[in-house]
């Protein structure tokens, strides 16, 4: 299982299902070091995004930021179906 497949499965929250669907899973030996390296790059190069995410998390936990729940239904004419 390459790093892209592993990250995709994790993003989709299906790692357990993927791993249990096969008898043996082979992961390249450098996967863990690659993940740590990428994490350090993200944290080092994007500190403002980390700070913004922490601020959002704090606003949510304090109850100052909530999911907007519309009480009005859109007219069917406003809904666009794309294929």
| 33: its two tokens | 């070091």
Q: Please report the pLDDT score of residue 71 as a whole number.
A: 79
Supply the pTM of this predicted model. Answer: 0.46
Contact 43, 35 (CB under 8 A): no
Q: From CA 52, how far away is CA 49, in angstroms rounded?
A: 5
Q: Give the residue extent of every domain in the chain.
A: 1-48
Q: From CA 9, how far away is CA 31, in angstroms rounded?
A: 15
Q: Please report the pLDDT score of residue 51 as a whole number.
A: 84
Residue pLDDT tens, the chain, 83 long? 898 999 999 999 999 999 999 999 898 999 999 988 888 777 666 778 778 888 999 999 998 988 777 777 777 777 777 66
CA 73 to chain centre: 29
Q: Please report the pLDDT score of residue 44 as a whole number.
A: 61
């Amino acid at each position: 299982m390459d790093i892209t497949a592993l990250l995709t499965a994790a993003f989709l929250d299906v790692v357990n299902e993927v791993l249990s669907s096969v008898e043996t899973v082979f992961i390249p030996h450098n996967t863990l070091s690659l993940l740590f390296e990428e994490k350090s790059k993200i944290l080092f190069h994007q500190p403002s995004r980390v700070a913004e995410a922490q601020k959002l998390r704090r606003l949510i936990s304090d109850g100052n930021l909530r999911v907007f729940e519309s009480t009005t239904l859109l007219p069917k004419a406003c809904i666009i179906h794309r294929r």
